[in-house]
Amino acid sequence: MDRMFRVLGFWTGIFAVMFYLGDMKTTSLLFFGQTGFFVFLSYLKLTERMYIYIFGAYLTIFFVGFTYWTTFMMIPGQSVGH
């Protein structure tokens, strides 16, 4: 299970670099933070159950944040910079 967190770190790192190259600095910093978080967790040698609990908590926080952002922060029909 620890290797899957390294895989998650790898892919979030790829996304972070792509966001950085696309001039999305804030998003790239968020993804670099996630990369560090996943790689750090992968070397803790936790039990598989604990990795599942951490991943479930991560998904819960992501979905709550994403739902909040899309419901209250985005303005329908508004395009930024285009």
Q: Which pLDDT does position 77 carry in this prediction?
A: 74
Section 6-27 average pLDDT: 95
The Cα–Cα gap between 37 and 42 comes to 9
What is the average pLDDT value for the chain, to the nearest integer?
A: 91
- What is the CB-side half-sphere exposure of residue 15 using CA atoms within 13 A? 15
Report, as an integer, the average pLDDT of 43-57: 94
- Across the range 12-31, mean pLDDT stands at 94
pTM of the predicted structure, to 2 decimals: 0.79
2 pLDDT tier (thresholds 50, 70, 90): confident
